[in-house]
Amino acid sequence: MVELEQLGSFLAIPRPSTFVEPEDESMERGRKLKELVWDKIPKHLVKQALSPRYAAMVTRFDWGHSWVLLGETGAGKSTACVHLVRELLRRGKTNGGQDFDLAKSIFWARADAITRAGGSDHDEDGKLLHRAEWAKLMVLDDLSAPSKTLLGVIQQRYDRGLPIVATCGAMTRGQFTELVGGDAVKRWISECGKARKGIVLLSEKAKELDDIERTEKEAQAQRVKQIGRRP
């Protein structure tokens, strides 16, 4: 028996009493995702309910389309983004592979943080801008009039086909276009993903105002058309 134990030791075979069950790989993935992504987002919002107006983003997100969430303060835009990130991290932890590789590259940033980083020489701010340009998904929270730095990040992501999920306090599509600086910038933001087609979701109040805006634009276009037909 002693000879067998010595042979086992020589072959580096542990005794049954010292055998350690290998850890589930998903647990290790979960730890990495928590460190890289989850610890850097406003997790307190997870306790808040997901608004039905924004729920489609969580269920339909495909890494190809960009999403823009419009609505008043407190409508649940940032909360929806947290729910989305949690779902993508869950898939990454559970499935591994490509889902894990995509999930670990999620980057959450407030728009003003990117603006401040553009005027800094600190290494951490340089890393922030690098992640903003290269992350497989950037959640851009509280977007308003974009700075030159932010416009540069958005254009880089547009050129690389990397999607953005943006939240903005604009209450209509027209207000959003005006706020970000025109149709070209709006297109960069909404068409960042490889699908080149953005999806806009509005709060209930914002949808009411957006419908009014659209109706007024259609009526104005009709009046212009009728004037053009006059002899």
Average pLDDT over residues 220-228: 79
Domain ranges within the chain, ordered by starting residue: 24-229
Q: What percent of the chain has pLDDT over 90?
A: 77
Average pLDDT over residues 170-185: 96
Task: Round the average pLDDT of the chain to a whole number and report it.
Answer: 89
Average pLDDT over residues 137-161: 96
Pairing of β 106-110 and β 164-168 = unpaired
Express each pLDDT in 86-137 by its tens digit. Answer: 999 999 999 999 999 999 999 999 999 999 999 888 889 899 999 999 999 9
At residue 224, the pLDDT reads 80
CATH of domain 24-229: 3.40.50.300
Which residues in 111-158 belong to E strands, given as ranges?
A: 137-143
At residue 9, the pLDDT reads 41
Average pLDDT over residues 177-206: 95
Measured distance CA(19)–CA(133) in Å, rounded: 46
pLDDT band, residue 229 (cuts 50/70/90): low
Average pLDDT over residues 206-227: 90
